[in-house]
């Protein structure tokens, strides 16, 4: 297990979730991690990917400004991958972008394509900037301590 100062309880919970996912032979649940810059959101996400044996795919919310951007990034995902979206609150507000992400997270489908089951980990410095329906799509929610 990794060590990040002040985050022991969160790391312990994540380790339990990793073990449960392995036992069930299911992807790690979609997760949102919030907290100040430099407190371990990316490190924790890489740890999850390594522990689950998936490829760590790093994206930025700034790279996803419309449905086409989402398609360009998500349609290449393989089963078991960990898609880390840093600054997820920056995803474009163009009509249909967030709604398309909802379908990807819930049904693993996008524009008629079936996407292999993967894990999305969203990172944000301020979870209140995410619309509630998007927050609701993430099973696990962690707030890193400063």
What digits encode the pLDDT tens for the residues 34-63? 999 988 999 999 999 999 999 999 999 999
Angle between helices 41-52 and 8-24 (to 10 degrees): 30
Q: Angle at CA 72, nearest 5°, toward 131 and 87?
A: 35
Q: How confident is the model at residue 120 (pLDDT cuts 50, 70, 90)?
A: very high
Query: So what's the pLDDT on residue 1?
Result: 66
Given a contact cutoff of 8 angstroms between Cβ atoms, the answer to whether 17 and 28 are in contact is yes
Q: Rounded CA gap, 48 and 81, in Å?
A: 10
At residue 96, the 3 state secondary structure works out as: coil
Enumerate the β-bridge partners of residue 121. 31, 84
Greater model confidence, 8 or 49: 49
pLDDT at residue 8, as a whole number: 86
Does residue 94 have a pLDDT over 90?
no
Dist. CA 35–CA 64, nearest whole Å:
21
pTM of the predicted model as reported, rounded to 2 decimal places: 0.94
């Amino acid at each position: 297990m990794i060590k990040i100062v002040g985050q022991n309880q969160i790391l312990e919970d994540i380790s339990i979730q990793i073990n449960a996912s392995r036992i069930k032979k299911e992807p790690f649940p979609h997760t949102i991690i919030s907290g100040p810059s430099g407190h371990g959101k990316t490190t924790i996400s890489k740890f999850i990917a390594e522990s689950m044996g998936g490829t760590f795919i790093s994206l930025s919310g700034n790279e996803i400004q419309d449905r086409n951007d989402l398609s360009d990034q998500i349609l290449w995902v393989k089963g078991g991958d960990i898609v880390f979206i840093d600054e997820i609150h920056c995803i474009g507000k163009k009509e249909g972008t967030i709604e398309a992400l909802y379908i990807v997270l819930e049904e693993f489908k996008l524009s008629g394509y079936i996407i292999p089951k993967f894990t999305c980990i969203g990172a944000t410095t301020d979870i209140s900037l995410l619309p509630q329906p998007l927050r609701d799509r993430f099973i696990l929610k962690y707030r890193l301590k400063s």
